[in-house]
Structure 1
Amino acid sequence: MKNLFKACAMALVLSGCASGVQIVDTTNDTADSVMGLEYRDFEKAAGEAVQSMIASGSVSKPGGGRYILAIGRMINDTMQRIDTDQLVKKIRIELLNSGKVMVTTAVAFNGPEDEMSYTARELRGNSEFDQSGIAAKGQLQAPDLSLTGKILQRNHAMGRNKTQVEYFFQLSLTEIKSGLAIWEGETPIVKRGSAKSVSW
């Protein structure tokens, strides 16, 4: 009897966990938005930034070829615990697919994204490894451009239990050689809803 009760309880738990779950078609999602940042907001901000960069010509290298981009400091100035890479990764993918930019993972604001570029070079002179397959000195490519940015959030009470939440995706593209910003963009996303809705 005890085992039967446990089996029934387990069946109820499993069926309860699975009920009401659906896979969201992210390419055709018509569900209402939320007050906090969601995937559609990051897609919008990244898409607009890349389109603006390409239209401005700032990522078109004179004479052809690709610029090398390093990722600089990205600041989250919102009330939410978000990973700024959710925005940066989308920008990187679109720029890579544009054929105009390559991203270095050997140089970044917080150190190399992929330390293997340096770790593999420590094998130089190690007789256990075929030295012909080890990267020689002077082969790492220095970045031409740096992408930095900030995500801001501002909340405003509107009366009648309504609130407005404003998000600003601010980005700057700097030419490293000169230190000049060759492109800057800002995508505002404004949401209004019940003051009871949370945005963090």
Structure 2
Amino acid sequence: MVTKTFSRITALITLSAAIILSGCSNNIEYINEDNADQAISLGLDRKDFENAAQDALESLLASNALNKAGGGRYVVAIGKVVNNTTLRIDTDMLIKKIRIGMLQSGKAVITSAVSANGTADELIFDVRELRDNDEFKQDTIAQKGTLYAPDFSLTGKILQRIARTGNDKQMVEYYFQLTLTELRSGLVYWESESTVGKLGSNKSAIW
């Protein structure tokens, strides 16, 4: 009896999984003709973030906004990257690749002392609380006036637009918008927008 019950449960789980997977596939395609691959879902996946980040990074470096007169590197702080979609996504998937690219370019460094959420690395200030602590060699403790203020902030937004196209189809477009602002003057030195468009069945879930 237990074996039969277990077999029925297994069959139901398998059937449910098949239904979910069939609902997710539904021949979802990228709208961009340059992308011949079939999309995994109407939502955003790792490949979408990587492509959007690569497009933004190439645009940023080509703009010469980070070319510092006289050489050297600019200090960039990461500001808010707002998720204005129906998806629960980690915006670091977009920003991390751009951060790495900026560092590797030799044109900028990223500060962890200042970010949209305060201090990105709390140890920066934790170690400064060790001043006058006799257990630590004081010449190894960061002194006052050693932190660098950022020259620029990188902020962004991810937007989503859903449209019904007829024939039981829906089109979902995602817009990756980024802005580089000089903090001293408040002037925008660079902006970019990358678009990811997908077309699929109305029955396809967006996640």
What TM-score range do you get, normalising by the shorter chain? 0.7 to 0.9
Asked if 1:108 corresponds to 2:120, the answer is: no
Cα distance, 1:173 vs structure 2: 0.2
Q: Secondary structure at the match of 1:183?
A: strand
Cα distance, 1:94 vs structure 2: 1.1
The aligned counterpart of 1:189 is 196
Q: Secondary structure at the match of 2:126?
A: helix
Cα distance, 1:33 vs structure 2: 3.3
The aligned counterpart of 2:143 is 136
Q: Where does structure 1 differ by over 4 angstroms across 4 or more consecutive aligned residues?
A: none
Of 134, 151, 168, the residue aligned with 2:175 is 168
1:1-200 alignment, distance < 5 Å: 32-200=39-207
Q: CA RMSD in A?
A: 1.8
Task: For structure 1, list consecutive stretches of 5 or more residues without a partner in the other structure.
Answer: 17-29
Tell me the alpha carbon deviations over residues 147-169 of structure 1, each in whole angstroms, 9 at most, x when there is no partner.
00000001001111100001000
CA distance in structure 1 between the partners assigned to 2:106 and 2:42 by the alignment = 35
The aligned counterpart of 1:24 is none
Q: Which amino acid aligns with 1:95?
A: M
Cα distance, 1:32 vs structure 2: 3.8
The aligned counterpart of 2:34 is none
TM-score computed with the length of structure 2 as normaliser: 0.81
Cα distance, 1:31 vs structure 2: 5.9
Q: Which amino acid aligns with 1:179?
A: G
Q: Which amino acid aligns with 2:188?
A: A
The aligned counterpart of 2:26 is none
Q: Which amino acid aligns with 1:134?
A: I
TM-score computed with the length of structure 1 as normaliser: 0.84
CA distance in structure 2 between the partners assigned to 1:40 and 1:47 by the alignment = 10
Higher relative contact order (CA 8 A, sep 6+): 2
